[in-house]
Each structure stands twice: as C-alpha cells, then as structure tokens.
Amino acid sequence: MTLEETLLKSASAVGSGEVRRFTLPDGKISITRITTFCPDVVGPGPVHAYLVESDALVLLDTGLPTHIAKSFFYHWRAQPMPREVEELPADHSETELRDGFRLAERSLSDIDMLVISHGHADHFLMARSILDGHQILIAAHIFDTPAICNPWGLLNMWILRQDQMRGSGMPEPWSAQESARDQLREGMDPVSLGMALGIDQPVLRSGPLRVNRTPVKSVEIRSLPGHSPGSIGLLVGEGKDKVLLCGDVLMHPISPHPDDLLVYLRTLEDLGARDDIVLALPAHGDAIRDPAARIRALREHHQRRLKVTYETCAQPRCVWDVATLEGYFDTYVDPKKFNLLAGLEVLVHMELLHMVDGLRRVPAKGGVQYFVNSAESFEEVYGRIRELVTDSRSGAMMRY
Ligand SMILES: [Fe+2]
Ligand SMILES: [Fe+2]
C-alpha cells in the first residue's frame, strides 16, 4: 500500500511541533499526526496526537501540558533541566496542538470524540485545557479509568510506587522523601490543575469505534493490554491495508515499558498473528513501516532481557542491581540518579521469571528484596514462559 505523506510543519529545536498528514489510498481517510513536547532521555520523548478524519473526526490522545512535563520528569525525579526546556512557556504543548489543528484546517469544536489510548499522564493530561467549553465525547478503556478519572490520579500513582521503589533498592528522589510530601501535594492540587476527565464511553473490548452508537467508518478499537491494563489502539482502513494507531504498545527506536510483561507478550503474540497492518503509528518515536518486523524485534528484545536478568541472578540481586548493570539498557542508568522507568522495566522481567519459578526471593536486607535464579538453563525457564504466553486458556490477568 502506498500512503500519501505530507509534511505540514517541521519539528522545533526541542524535537516537537511537527505536523504530518498520512492519507489512506482511497483518499477518504486521513490521519494527521501532531507532535507535542515531552522530554526524551528522562521521559518517553515528544508525544504524537492523531487526528483521524473519516465520517467522524476523532482525536487520539492530547499530550501533556509543558509545566507538568517539567514538574514530573525533572523536578519530582531530581533530574537536571536543560536550559532550552526551562525556557519553554507553560502552554508550549497546547500551542503546538492548536497549531496542528489549524494546519489540518479543523477546529477543536469539530471533534466528535477524543479517544485516550491509555491512562498515562503524557497521553491525556492536556485534554481538560484544550476541550474546555466544547462538548466532546471521551472514550477510554475501563481498566485505565482509575488513572484518568481520579483528580489525584498522578499523585496516587506516584505515592503508590514509593514502597515498590524502596523494595527494589532504587535511590529516592526528593519527592519520595517525607519532608517533600506536602510540597508535592500542593503542586498537584486537582482543582487548580483540573486534570481529571470524565469518560463518556468506557471501552470494554475490541470492536467498531462508535460515536453516539453509530460506527465510525473504517475505524476499529483494538484492546492491546500490557503496557497498561487498558491500553487500546485504533485500527484504521479496510482489508489488508490497515494502519494501527498503537499508543505506547509498539514503539521505535525505544521499546515500551510493560506494566505486566506476560499480558504485554500476549498482545505482541496477537498482533504478530495479523497480516492486515501495513503501518503502525505510535504515540512516541518513529512511524513503524514494517510492523511485523518490529513485533518480532520486541519479542526478541524481551527474551534477551529475560535471559540477562535470569543469568545475573546467579547471585542474589535486587531490581536496582540489575537496572544499573552495564549494557542492560542502551542509555546509561546512573546508579546515583533516580530513574523510575528503568526500575519498573527490570521489575516486570523479574516478576515474570518469578511467576514460572525461575527466580525465588531470598531474605530481604534493609527492606530491599533480593532474588536468586533456579540454576536451570535459561532455555528451560523460557520454555515455561512461552507456554504461559501462548496458552490462551490460562487466565491472562495475573494482577488485575
Ligand atoms: Fe504509556
Ligand atoms: Fe507515553
């Protein structure tokens, strides 16, 4: 399939602001990608929102306000902020999104529905400020509504993670320290920030996207759990020439961090069995022009990471020992600097190995949990993981 691609605006020095249109072959459906600011290295990188024009106008994701990106990725996590980021105005991402709409020759009031790919802050926190005053339906998977609808959702997630972070041996950022709690709460006042959203249309399963009960032509919702419990994508087009707007489920060049690795590997298995997706457009990073190859690469990537994790646990290791192993991540993880996502990535690999008895817990030292491997070959342990991943009869949701 040849998609027509038009660059409507180039990216700025901080890597965001690009607007690019993809037109499907029959010319009746177009997808405009609008890229808004979010830091890379300390964060997942600029966020792509997608405006899908079929017989309804659908926006997938919004990005997050720049002042929240600064607080969350730099301040809360005690990371140094580059000057060019410091200089960005609070409404920088919002301006980028509005510019994208202007270049697509549409206005916010034209939107029939906002679909939120999942309940991570970088995908929906800007919705309240841009949709204010417009009557726009909002859809998200029901599993992610606790993160999206709770005005304290982001703070709740952060506080919930604190014990897990301590148990994994991670260094504490200032915001995890008792003395910083009040300051953190003040910075997250839900009334002044107004970030929680009401969901008009909870998504329960895959099927046609409906606006007021009417299916949108050639747009389907796909349930793609694992990166978060309620991750969804939009499958756009007909026949063997579909485009998957995949949120954070597939990415390139970075790999998405799974919230539950077993569930995520099952989603990759399902996607890998399809032969009708010719292009995947993720919420961060590059367009994926060979989705089948990217899915294979992601499966192999997790297999390698499971192997390294398993083998390094010949001696008792905590999560943070593994995260700071040289070469475990492409980007160096400074053992003294806090990096939540690096810790979570290791944690889910250890958890899956533990689930198939490849790792067992040894007594905690100073509140930090250590794990040691079962001294089998990795291939034996991985065989049990594959059985679990491909056995559709066994319950998928181990944790929720
Ligand atoms: Fe995400
Ligand atoms: Fe994301």
Q: Minimal CA–CA distance to 150: which of 190, 203, 123?
A: 190
Are 127 and 36 in a shared domain? yes
The verdict on residue 166 lying in a domain is: yes
Q: How many domains does the chain have?
A: 2
The verdict on residue 332 lying in a domain is: yes
Assessment of whether the complete model's pTM goes beyond 0.75 = yes
Q: Minimal CA–CA distance to 190: which of 154, 136, 137?
A: 154
Taking the centre of ligand 1 as the mean of its atom positions, its distance from the CA of residue 118, in whole angstroms, is 7
CATH number of the domain bearing residue 173? 3.60.15.10
What is the pLDDT at residue 224? 97
Q: Half-sphere exposure of 180 toward its Cβ, with a 13 Å CA cutoff?
A: 17
Shortest-distance ligand to the CA of residue 230? 1
Least confident of 6-15, 145-154, 200-209, 321-330: 145-154
Taken in order 300, 302, 308, 314, the sign of the CA dihedral is negative
Are 316 and 256 in a shared domain? no
- Are 34 and 11 a contacting pair, CB within 8 Å? no
Q: Minimal CA–CA distance to 224: which of 216, 239, 234, 209?
A: 234
Least confident of 33-37, 98-102, 188-192, 207-211: 188-192
The verdict on residue 22 lying in a domain is: yes
Are 221 and 252 in a shared domain? yes
Taking the centre of ligand 1 as the mean of its atom positions, its distance from the CA of residue 120, in whole angstroms, is 5
Mean pLDDT computed over 75-97: 90
Taking the centre of ligand 1 as the mean of its atom positions, its distance from the CA of residue 247, in whole angstroms, is 7
pLDDT higher than threshold 70 for residue 95: yes
Q: Does residue 253 have a cis peptide bond before it, meaning omega lies within 30 degrees of 0?
A: yes
Taking the centre of ligand 1 as the mean of its atom positions, its distance from the CA of residue 316, in whole angstroms, is 30
Taking the centre of ligand 1 as the mean of its atom positions, its distance from the CA of residue 270, in whole angstroms, is 19
pLDDT band at 400 (very low <50, low <70, confident <90, very high): very low
The CA-atom distances, in angstroms, between 21 and each of 3, 101, 144, 242, 374 are 10, 11, 29, 16, 51
pLDDT band at 225 (very low <50, low <70, confident <90, very high): very high
Q: Minimal CA–CA distance to 246: which of 210, 202, 314, 294?
A: 294
Q: Minimal CA–CA distance to 385: which of 274, 273, 266?
A: 266
Are 309 and 189 in a shared domain? no
Torsions phi, psi for 252 (to 5 deg): -155, 135
Taking the centre of ligand 1 as the mean of its atom positions, its distance from the CA of residue 192, in whole angstroms, is 24
Instruction: Find the domain containing 369 and state its range.
Output: 300-390
Are 287 and 311 in a shared domain? no
Q: Which of 297, 330, 351 delimits the end of a domain? A: 297
Ligand 1 (ion): which residues have CB within 5 A? 120, 248
The verdict on residue 398 lying in a domain is: no
Residue 83, helix vs strand vs coil: helix
Shortest-distance ligand to the CA of residue 285? 2
Cα angle: 98, vertex 234, 48; to 5 degrees? 35
Are 43 and 155 in a shared domain? yes
Q: Half-sphere exposure of 175 toward its Cβ, with a 13 Å CA cutoff?
A: 27
Six-digit token pair at 131? 């949709």
d(CA 108, CA 51): 10
Amino acid at site 81 = M
CATH number of the domain bearing residue 340? 1.10.10
* 397 vs 17, more confident: 17
Are 360 and 232 in a shared domain? no
What is the pLDDT at residue 136? 92
Q: Which of 297, 315, 345 delimits the end of a domain? A: 297
Q: Which of 297, 324, 348 delimits the end of a domain? A: 297
Shortest-distance ligand to the CA of residue 120? 1
Mean pLDDT computed over 153-169: 82
Taking the centre of ligand 1 as the mean of its atom positions, its distance from the CA of residue 46, in whole angstroms, is 12
Are 239 and 361 in a shared domain? no
Are 57 and 181 in a shared domain? yes
Torsions phi, psi for 99 (to 5 deg): -60, -40
Shortest-distance ligand to the CA of residue 47? 2
- Are 41 and 126 a contacting pair, CB within 8 Å? no
Q: Minimal CA–CA distance to 43: which of 233, 232, 248, 229?
A: 248
The verdict on residue 362 lying in a domain is: yes
Are 213 and 70 in a shared domain? yes
What is the pLDDT at residue 194? 59
The verdict on residue 117 lying in a domain is: yes
Are 32 and 164 in a shared domain? yes
pLDDT band at 151 (very low <50, low <70, confident <90, very high): confident
Are 207 and 93 in a shared domain? yes
Residue 178, helix vs strand vs coil: helix
Helices marked H in the chain = 66-70, 83-86, 92-103, 121-124, 127-131, 145-149, 153-167, 181-187, 190-193, 261-272, 291-312, 319-323, 340-355, 378-390
Q: Minimal CA–CA distance to 209: which of 46, 62, 29?
A: 29
d(CA 345, CA 1): 35
The verdict on residue 316 lying in a domain is: yes
Least confident of 63-77, 299-313, 332-346, 365-379: 332-346
Average pLDDT, the chain: 90
The verdict on residue 399 lying in a domain is: no
d(CA 175, CA 214): 46
* 8 vs 329, more confident: 8
pLDDT band at 341 (very low <50, low <70, confident <90, very high): confident
Taking the centre of ligand 1 as the mean of its atom positions, its distance from the CA of residue 281, in whole angstroms, is 14
